[in-house]
Structure 1
Amino acid sequence: MDEKQRKKELKKQLQLEQQRKFEESLPMSREQFIHLFDELDGCLEEQGCNHTNTLTVRILDDMKVTNKEEVIEWLREHGGYCDCEVLWNVEECFE
Structure 2
Amino acid sequence: MPDKEEKARRRQIQKELQEKAQIEFEKSLPVSREIFQSLFDFLDEELEKNGCDDHLTLTKKFLAKNQIEDADEVENWLKENGGFCDCEVLYNVEELFED
For the aligned pair, the TM-score class normalised by the smaller chain equals: over 0.9
Shift of 1:33: 0.3
Aligned to 1:43: 46
Q: Which position in structure 2 is the counterpart of 1:26?
A: 29
1:88 correspondence with 2:60: no
Q: Give the SS at the match of 1:3.
A: helix
Large movers: runs of 4+ above 4 Å: none
CA–CA separation in structure 2 for the residues paired with 1:91 and 1:63: 19
CA deviations on 1:37-79 (whole Å, 9 max, x unpaired) are 0001111000000100011000111111000000000000000
RMSD: 0.8
Task: Name structure 1 gaps, 5 residues minimum.
Answer: none
Verify: 1:16 aligned to 2:14, yes or no: no
Q: What is the TM-score normalised by the length of structure 2?
A: 0.94
Matches of 1:40 and 1:61, distance apart in 2: 14
Quick one: distance in 2 between partners of 1:23 and 1:33? Answer: 12
Counterparts of 2:39 and 2:82 in 1: how far apart (Å)?
A: 16
Between the aligned residues of both structures, percent identity stands at 51
| C-alpha separation in 1, matches of 2:17 and 2:44 | 32
Gaps of 5+ in 2: none
Equivalences, count:
95
For the residue of structure 2 that corresponds to 1:2, the secondary structure is: helix
Distance (whole Å) between structure 1 residues aligned to residue 14 and residue 35 of structure 2: 29
